[in-house]
Amino acid sequence: MVLIMLGAQGTGKGTVAGILNKKTGWPQISTGDIFRKHIAEKTELGVEANKYIASGNLVPDEITIPMVKARLEEEDAKEGAILDGFPRTLAQAQKLDEILAEQNRKVELVINLTTPSEEIITRILNRRVCSNQACKATYNLTMHPSKVEGICDKCGSKLVQREDDSNAESIQRRLDIYEEKTKPLVDFYNNKGVITTQEVSEKINRLGQDVAEEIYEKYIKK
């Protein structure tokens, strides 16, 4: 099964995808993680991607699409894959359909997460991630802090704040870009009949783990 996580940054896509990854064994394919790896290694691709990411813009398709295609062709993604952060535009969604058709596959489930914008901004400003790329654990200073301040519970590495998570204006710009370019994907996948929209919010006491459990039981478990 090819599964897509939709939703603005800070809605909990990574949390839901991570839980489903553990339950299914399908790889969680995050373009964000791929970009950060290249940026940390200062590859040519990473340098170019960072120019867009640091200013709150989307990385162009000519950089993103070939990386996603190559990742979907890897052995561990043949039984299933969880796409987190791709596609972001209708053009990317259409290209993904072409890539999957070549592999005799298709998108079977799209999980669209929604969260009030004020919650998203606060959540992202308080987000901290493990600096160890092999771990990638995520924490939140208020909702889900590490046991020892600044240290990852899982591997003991230093926790850091992503550059693009430290500025409220940059975060708002990312949300604006989402509204303009990514939200139309909801209609695209609605027309295909493969989407489910789920709210994640402290106000209704429903977080990512709750959504992940419900999705697994209803759509994936056999």
The residues that are catalytic are 13, 88, 127, 162, 174
Q: Which residues pair with 127 in a beta bridge?
A: 140
The position carrying tokens 């400003």 is 125
Q: Which residues pair with 195 in a beta bridge?
A: 110
Q: Which residues pair with 32 in a beta bridge?
A: none
Cα–Cα–Cα angle for 63, 160, 211, rounded to 5 degrees: 75
Q: Is residue 200 within 8 Å of 113, Cβ to Cβ? A: yes
In degrees and rounded to multiples of 5, residue 147 shows phi and psi of: -65, -40
The position carrying tokens 């995050």 is 30
What residue type is 53 in one-letter code? I
Q: Is residue 29 within 8 Å of 80, Cβ to Cβ? A: no
In the chain, what is the straight-line distance between the N-terminal and C-terminal CA atoms, in Å?
12
How many angstroms separate the CA atoms of 87 and 101, rounded?
A: 16
